[in-house]
Amino acid sequence: MTTSYNRRRMLGTTLAAIGAGAAWPLQAKEGPILIGQSAPVSGPVAGAFKGVLAGEKMAFDQINRKGGIDGRKVELILLDDGYDTKRTVENVGTLIERDKVVALTGLGSTAGVGATLPLLLEKKVPLVGVYTGAPNLRMKHHPYFFTTQASFKDEIFYSIRNLVTVGKARIAVVYQNNEFGKFMLPVAEQAIKDQGATLVGTAAMGIDGSDAVVAAQSIAAKQPQAVLMIAVGPSVVGYVKANRNFVGAPVYTISTAVGALPALGEDARGLAMTQVCPYPWRQTTTMAREFALECERGQQAVAYDTYGGYLLARFLLEALRRCGKNVNSDTLVKTIESRQNWDYGGINLNFSASNHHGTSFVETTIVGPRMTFMR
C-alpha cells in the first residue's frame, strides 16, 4: 500500500552527483520528482489512514503508468511517524535534507503539522494538503502551507446548525483526550453557543477507546438530545458502541471518523457524519470515473477516505504538471497561488497569494446498512 524507498538507489544517485560536481537541482531535473510524506503507518490510528494512503498510491501509480510528468516519474517517499509529533518533525527534516523532496503532502496529525510549519518556512518547502482540518493551523497565513479540504470548524458548525434545525438543541460533546480533541473542544463550545443550542456536558476519552464506556455513562447522565463526537481511530469504535448501550441519543461526528467504520461494521448504522470531499459513488465527473476504474484495477473498495487520498494526490500531481519543465518548490507554490477553480472531483479549489485554504465544502451523510452512505 505504501511507496517504498530504495536507499541504495538514492545513495548512488547522490554520490554520482557529487562526483560530477553537479548541483542538486540539475540532478533532480534528470531524475524522478520526489514528494515526501510522514504519516501514521503504525501506531494507534494506523487503521484510520489505510484508506487515504491507498488512494494516494492509486493516483501516483496512475500518472506513472502514463509516463509521469514530462517524462519523469513521480515518487512518493512515505515515512512512518506512528502518530508521534517528534517523529513527524524528524521525518519532515529527513525528507527535506536527505531526500531533497520538492514538496510534502498528507501529514496526518494536528500537533505534527503545527510542529513542522516553522521548519517549512525556514526551508521554503511547501506542504500541499493534510489530513487535519484543525482551525488553529489556519489562523495565520503561512506561505508554504496549502489545504484542500474544509476545516474541522466548518464541519462542526455545519453539524450544530443541522441539529438545531431539527430541534435537537441539547447537545453533549465527546472528544479525544489529545491535542486534536483539546484544540477542537472550544470550537464545538463556540458553535453550540453561536447557534443558540445548549451544551449539556462534555467527556474526554483516550485514543484507544478503553474508557469509552465511562465517557458514555457520564454523557447519559446529562440526557442530551444528540452527541457530537470529535475523535479518530479506536476511540470512535469504542464510543459509538457504548453510546448505543448507555445513551441512545444520535451521534454526529466529523470526517476524521470515517476510517473507523470498517471496525464498527453494522454498529455504524445511523451515525451522522460530515464529509469534506464529494460523494465518490456518483460517477458524474471524470475524476470520479477514473477513481472507480483505479479502485477496480487495485481491487479496492470505493470509499470516502480512499477518494480523499486520491483527490489530494491528483491535485498535487496536476499542480506539478502545470509547473512545466522547471519543477521545484518555488514554482509549485507560485503555480498553486496563480490559479483558481482547480477541479477537485466536482467541487472547485480556489487559491491566491493571500489564500492558501482552497475550500469550505461540507455535507452531511448518514451511515446506512452494509456501510452505505445516504446524503
Domain CATH number, residue 326? 3.40.50.2300
Q: How many domains does the chain have?
A: 2
pLDDT in tens, 347-359: 999 999 999 999 9
* Any domain includes 365: no
Of 275, 295, 326, which residue sits at a domain end? Answer: 275
Residues 138 and 87 in one domain: yes
Instruction: Say whether both 116 and 228 belong to one domain.
Output: no
pLDDT at 91 over 60: yes
Domain annotation covers residue 310: yes
E-state strands within 226-271: 226-230, 251-253
275-322 per-position pLDDT tens digit: 999 999 988 899 999 999 999 999 999 999 999 999 999 999 999 999
Whether 91 and 165 map to the same domain: the answer is: no
Whether 125 is in a domain gets the answer yes
Please tell me whether residues 287 and 140 are part of one structural domain. yes
The DSSP code sequence of 22-87 is --HHHHHHHS-EEEEEEE-SSSTTHHHHHHHHHHHHHHHHHHHHTT-BTTB-EEEEEEE-TT-HHH
Same domain for 144 and 287? Answer: yes
Bigger pLDDT: 138 vs 19: 138
Residue 217 lies in a domain: yes
| Same structural domain, 69 and 185 | no
In a domain, 239, yes or no: yes
Shared domain for 146 and 295, answered yes or no, is yes
How do residues 181-196 score in pLDDT, each as one tens digit?
A: 999 999 999 999 999 9
133 and 49 inside one domain: yes
**Domain interval for residue 69:** 7-150+282-360
Cα separation, 326 vs 227, in Å, equals: 51
Are residues 34 and 167 located together in one domain of the fold?
no
Between CA 108 and CA 183 the distance in angstroms is 15
Regarding whether 92 and 193 lie in a shared domain, the answer is no
Domain boundary among 245, 275, 305: 275
Boundary (domain end) residue, out of 240, 275, 310: 275
Judge whether residue 14 has pLDDT over 50. no
Q: Are residues 127 and 11 part of one domain?
A: yes
With b for 16 or more beta-carbon neighbours within 10 A and e for fewer, the 68-86 pattern comes to bbeebebbbbbbbbbbbbe
Residue 371: predicted pLDDT: 81
256 and 307 both lie in a single domain: no
Q: Are 53 and 78 in contact (CB under 8 A)?
A: yes
Per-residue CA distances from 285 to 47, 358, 374 (Å) = 29, 19, 19
